[in-house]
Amino acid sequence: MVMLKTPVWSPSELYRHLNEGSQFFILDVRNEEDFNAWKIEGRDAIQTINLPYFDLLELEEEDEEIAAAVARAVPDRLGDKLPRSGLILAVCAKGDTSAHVAEGLRRLGYQALNLEGGMAAWGNHYEMRVVEESRRLTVLQISRPARGCLSYLLASGDEAMVVDAARHTEVYTRIASEHGWHITNVFDTHLQADHLSGGVALARELGADYWLHPYDSIHPDDLLPATFSFRYLEDEMELKLGEVNLRALHLPGHTLGMVNPLVDGRYLLTSDTLFIDTVGRPDLGGRAESWAPLLYRSLQRLLTLPDAAVVLPAHFSQMREADAQGCYRASIGALRSHNEGLRMLGQGLAVFSAYILSNLPEHPPSYDEIRRVNTGLIEVNEVKASELELGRNQCALSHGKK
C-alpha cells in the first residue's frame, strides 16, 4: 500500500476545531446509510457533503493509484460543490480511504486533510474538563464528544470514584494514576441503554466496590437478573469519598433504579434524569405511560435542592450546550427557567405527561442488546461493541418536536 503524507487532523484536533467553531467543510465518503445514522456535528452547523467512496472512484486500470483516480473523478462527480478556499476534511469509517480522497483533492489544489482513524477513532475519543480542582474535592467531567456521553471522576485526597464509566476503562485508570488517586468506588447511576458500561470491568480490575440500584440490575424486557454482584444503592444512602459526602437520591423515571449522587451538597450528577436543555426519556423500559409520572415526581424532588446546586448530566445532545470552558453544567436555578422539560413541570402532571409522550424519539433497536451486555447476560467482542455503540446517544427527549 502507498503511504501518503497527507496532512491529518487527529480526533482531538477535530474536537478543538469543533469547540472553537472553526470554519471548515466535510467530505464524508462513507456509504449513505452510515452517514445518515451518524455524522460529525459541532457547536455550529458544518457544511457537509456525503459522496460514497465507490461513487467517487472508477479505476481506469487495476493498478492505477487511488489518489490519482480520485483527482480524475472529482471535477466530474463533485463539480463546484467543494469550496475552492478553506479546509476540507475527508472522513470515512476508519481513515484509510479518506486519506486517498484527501490526497486526490490536494493534487487538484484543494486544502484537504484527512480525519485520522476516521469515525471509529472519533467515536472513541475522550475529552476531560475540570469542573472543580482542590485537594478536598476534584470533579472531572469526561466526555465522549462524538456520542454525547459524559462520565465523572471524583476525587478527595487520594481516594477517587468513577460515575457512569464508559467501556474504555483505561481513560479513568490513566487519569487516576497521573494524579496518584486510588479508585475505590465505581458507581453506575442506572442500567445504561445507549452505551456499554465499563463499571463492572473497572471495579473488577481495581478491586473497587461497584454500586447500582437493585431495580436496574434486572433487564426490563424479560426480567432476567444481572450476572455480576454489586453493592445496593438505596434512597438517601450516604457514601463517603475522602473528606466529602455523597448523598444518593433515588429518582426513578428514566429507569426504575435511577440514582443521582449529590456530591458535597453542591453537585448533582443528574445522569439521564435531567440534561442541560431537556429531560430524560421514560419510555426505554417500554412503559412510558406509567413511568412518566415517576419522572414528574423525581424532577419535582430534584427542584427542592438549592438553586445554586450544579447539575452535571450524563449526556448532551449538541455541543452548544457546553459553556465557554467546554463543560456541560448549569445551576438548578438557571435550568428552572431555561430547561423546556422543567418548565412543563409547573403545568401539572397531565400536561407534563402529554408533553413527554408526544416528544419521544425513536427507540434504537441496539438498546435492548446493550442492556443485555450491561447486565452481564451476554458478552461481546470489540467489533460488536463498536457496532452497538455506533452513533449519538438517544437518551433525551426530542427537542422542539411539538
| Cα–Cα dist 308/197, whole Å | 30
Output the smallest distance, CB 244 to Fe ion, in A. Answer: 25
Burial class (CB in 10 A: 0-12, 13-18, 19+), 126: buried
Residue 140 Cβ vs Fe ion, minimum distance, rounded to whole Å = 21
Nearer to Fe ion among residue 46 and residue 149 (C-beta): 149
Instruction: Please confirm, yes or no, whether 92 is among the known catalytic residues.
Output: yes
Least Å from the CB of residue 382 to Fe ion? 22
Q: How far is the CB of 159 from Fe ion (least distance, A)?
A: 27
Footprint of Fe ion on 12-71 (CB under 5 A): none
In 3D space, the residue among 176, 245, 180, 183 whose CA is nearest the CA of residue 210 turns out to be 183
The stretch among 181-189, 268-276, 285-293, 352-360 that binds Fe ion (CB under 5 A) is 268-276
Question: Phi, psi (5° rounding) for residue 129?
Answer: -125, 140
Supply the angle between the helices 170-179 and 199-206 in degrees, to the nearest 10. 40
Among candidate residues 92, 149, 327, 395, the one labeled active-site is: 92
Pairing of strands 47-50, 259-263: unpaired
Please choose, out of 137-145, 235-243, 270-278, 348-356, the segment that lies near Fe ion by the rule CB under 5 A: 270-278
Using the minimum distance from each CB to Fe ion, give the nearer residue, 99 or 226.
226
CB 328 within 8 A of CB 276: yes
Nearer to Fe ion, 9 or 275 (CB): 275
CB of 395 to Fe ion, least distance (A): 4
- Side chain identity at 81, as an amino acid letter? K
Q: Which is nearer to Fe ion, 332 or 395 (CB)?
A: 395
Q: Does 149 bind Fe ion (CB under 5 A)?
A: no
Q: Which is nearer to Fe ion, 274 or 395 (CB)?
A: 395
Residue closer to Fe ion (CB basis): 272 or 321:
272
Question: 365: helix, coil or strand?
Answer: coil
242 in the Ramachandran plot: left (φ > 0), alpha (ψ -120 to 50) or beta? left
Q: Tell me the per-residue interface mask from 165 to 194 with Fe ion, x by CB under 5 A, - otherwise.
A: ------------------------------
Using CB under 5 A as the criterion, what x/- string covers residues 366-395 for binding Fe ion?
-----------------------------x
Q: How far is CA 271 from the centre of its chain?
A: 11
SS3 category, 83: coil
Which residue sits closest to Fe ion, CB atoms considered?
272
Number of residues located near Fe ion, criterion CB under 5 A: 2
Amino acid in the structure at residue 212? L
> DSSP assignment, residue 217?
G
Burial of 134 (0-12, 13-18, 19+ CB in 10 A): exposed
Strand 330-331 and strand 149-156: the pairing is unpaired
C-beta of 167: minimal distance to Fe ion in Å?
A: 15
CA distance 278 to 400: 10
Of the candidate residues 28, 188, 272, 283, the single one contacting Fe ion (CB under 5 A): 272
> Which grid cell sits at 267?
453537585
**Residue type at 19 in one-letter notation:** N
Stretch of 76-84, 116-124, 269-277, 328-336 contacting Fe ion, by CB under 5 A: 269-277
Min dist CB 192 to Fe ion, Å, is 5
Stretch that binds Fe ion, among 52-60, 63-71, 234-242, 266-274 (CB under 5 A): 266-274
| Residue 62: burial class (beta carbons within 10 Å; 0-12, 13-18, 19+) | exposed
Residue range at the interface with Fe ion (CB under 5 A); choices 107-115, 163-171, 264-272, 322-330: 264-272
Assess contact for 90 and 112: CB atoms under 8 A: yes
Judged by beta carbon, residue 123 or residue 280, the one nearer Fe ion is 280
CB of 82 to Fe ion, least distance (A): 39
282 vs 326, beta carbon nearer Fe ion: 282
Q: Give the per-residue contact string, 104-133, with Fe ion (x = CB under 5 A; - = no).
A: ------------------------------
Are 145 and 17 in contact by the 8 Å Cβ rule? The answer is no
Active site residues: 92
Residues at the site binding Fe ion, with contacts judged by CB under 5 A:
272, 395
